[in-house]
Amino acid sequence: MKGYAITDIGKVRSENQDSVRYTENVSPAFGILAVCDGMGGAKAGSIASATALDIFVGRVSAHLANRRDKTKLDNAVLEAVDEANAVVYEHSLADLACEGMGTTLVAALVTAKSCRVVNVGDSRAYLISGDTITQVTRDHSFVEDLVERGIISRADARTHPRKNIITRAVGVEPMVECDVFAPKLKKNDLLLLCSDGLTNAVADEELLETVSQCKDLEKAAQALLDLALQRGAPDNVTVGLLRK
């Protein structure tokens, strides 16, 4: 298992409110990759994303590292999201400067036998297997709802003026609902996790093409980031890659 993650402020924003982390363990073997894209004024967005990432990754790593913990992985993931949500939400109530803050969260947990992807918001996970790319997550966003209801096309969604509105976020309400996926991951398959700063600038086919041209994860992540930067990167850009 290998992973690599990179984040960049982009060309326009004054602060990077995205957070990313890759962590792996040898025995038992597991890898965790997580991306959060914070929202909120001043420093609040980065506090939300850093806090949610920290709580989620800490909680899930502790679960995976403890062989005696027989809690099902799905339950452990749901509990970790609940806890991240509670901590960010309580912080937002306690600190006036953080009122209303929240964050997306997309994460992948890979062990020798299983894989889970969890999502809240519009950061995404893709599965790259051979020469195909598949979006694993479904965006919790206003435009995704319009696409699914057949009101606008997927192409229109990319340029829609309200494409930044998300319908679910970690930390904005006392409870949050997440989606959990269990994609089948074969040896050498890649999971790409990213914030919308990447996907708004780079189309799915280009993600695949760029990653396929690079052998190592570090070069692939850097090439994706460079592509977003070349296109003006109006938002923070985050790329995480995990190869089984």
Q: Which is nearer to Mg ion, 92 or 195 (CB)?
A: 195
Q: At what angle do helices 204-213 and 217-230 cross, to 10 degrees?
A: 140
CB of 235: closest distance to Mg ion in angstroms?
Answer: 4
d(CA 231, CA 111): 36
Q: Which is nearer to Mg ion, 16 or 92 (CB)?
A: 16
Residue 129, burial from CB neighbour count under 10 angstroms (0-12, 13-18, 19+): middle
CB of 123: closest distance to Mg ion in angstroms?
Answer: 8
Q: Which is nearer to Mg ion, 30 or 56 (CB)?
A: 56
Q: Which is nearer to Mg ion, 13 or 244 (CB)?
A: 13
CB of 178: closest distance to Mg ion in angstroms?
Answer: 18
CB of 23: closest distance to Mg ion in angstroms?
Answer: 22
Report whether 19 contacts 38 (CB < 8 A). Answer: yes
Beta strands in the chain (DSSP E): 2-8, 18-25, 30-39, 102-103, 105-111, 115-120, 124-129, 132-135, 179-181, 190-194, 237-243
CB of 18: closest distance to Mg ion in angstroms?
Answer: 6
Report whether 30 contacts 108 (CB < 8 A). Answer: no
Q: Which positions touch Mg ion (CB under 5 A)?
A: 37, 195-197, 235
CB of 164: closest distance to Mg ion in angstroms?
Answer: 8
Tokens of 30: 């597991």
Q: Omega into 174 within 30° of 0, i.e. cis?
A: no
Length of the chain in residues, anyone?
A: 244
Q: Which is nearer to Mg ion, 103 or 210 (CB)?
A: 103
Which residues are 141's β-sheet partners?
A: 166
Q: Which is nearer to Mg ion, 18 or 64 (CB)?
A: 18
